[in-house]
Amino acid sequence: MKMSKAKGIGFGLTSGVITTLGMIVAIYLLSEDKAIIVGGILSIAIADSVSDAFGMYISKESDKKRNLGHIWSATLWTFLSKFSITTTFLIPVLLLPLSISIPLCVVWGYLLLTVLSVKVAKDRKDSVLYAVFERLSTMTVVLFVVFLTERFISRFQ
């Protein structure tokens, strides 16, 4: 059960951070509309959390050594971690101007992925530096591609 919980939390946290930040940055670059950003965060919190949890369920169900308790544990923890992590991005967006809240969300996302990376690396006795670099560079690439994509799209508005 412990392993399925860890998998669900790790997957949900990583997906929640990267998906939510990609969406926040994209909408901010295109419209700077707080209501649309809040709606996007809520949509990810609900629809994408259910989608990821169901994906985890299907993935775990297809394992050769299926254990119903482990399947449901991973599914539940994926949903709970994705939903809760995603909704944390609402706090700065709702309370602060977008010019402050967007960079704060990016810093929050990097911090969450750093903490997860350190924990996973220590648990596996892997290089902490490599684990942090790997995850943060992946998120940086995603945000950079989103930035370039939105700059390209904005040329046609």
- Whether the CB-CB separation of 88 and 45 falls below 8 Å is answered with no
Residue 129 belongs to what domain range?
2-154
Q: At what angle do helices 98-124 and 2-30 cross, to 10 degrees?
A: 150
pLDDT digits (tens, 9 = 90+) for 78-136: 999 999 999 999 999 999 999 999 999 999 999 999 999 999 999 999 999 999 999 99
Of the candidates 108, 103, 73, 107, the one whose C-alpha atom is nearest the C-alpha of residue 87 is: 108
Name the pTM for this structure. Answer: 0.89
Amino acid at 31: S
pLDDT digits (tens, 9 = 90+) for 26-81: 999 988 899 999 999 999 999 999 999 999 888 888 877 778 888 888 889 999 99
Q: Which residue's entry shows tokens 């965060």?
A: 41
Number of domains in the chain: 1
